[in-house]
Amino acid sequence: MGAVHGEFRALGSKSIAQRALVLASLAQGETRIAGLPAGDDVRAARGLLRAVGIEVRELAPAAVSVRGAPPGPHRGWRSAAPL
Q: What share of the chain is helix, strand, coil (3-state, %, to 5)?
A: 30, 25, 45
Residue 29's nearest CA partner among 6, 10, 60, 61 is 6
Query: pLDDT tens for residues 16-59?
Result: 999 999 999 999 999 999 999 989 999 999 999 999 999 999 99
Specify the pLDDT at position 11.
65
pTM for this model (two decimals): 0.83
The three-class DSSP label of residue 22 is helix
pLDDT, greater one: 5 or 82: 82
* 58 bridge partner residues: 64
What is the pLDDT at residue 33?
Answer: 94
CB of 13 closer than 8 Å to CB of 37: yes
For residue 35, is it left (φ>0), alpha (ψ between -120 and 50) or beta?
A: left
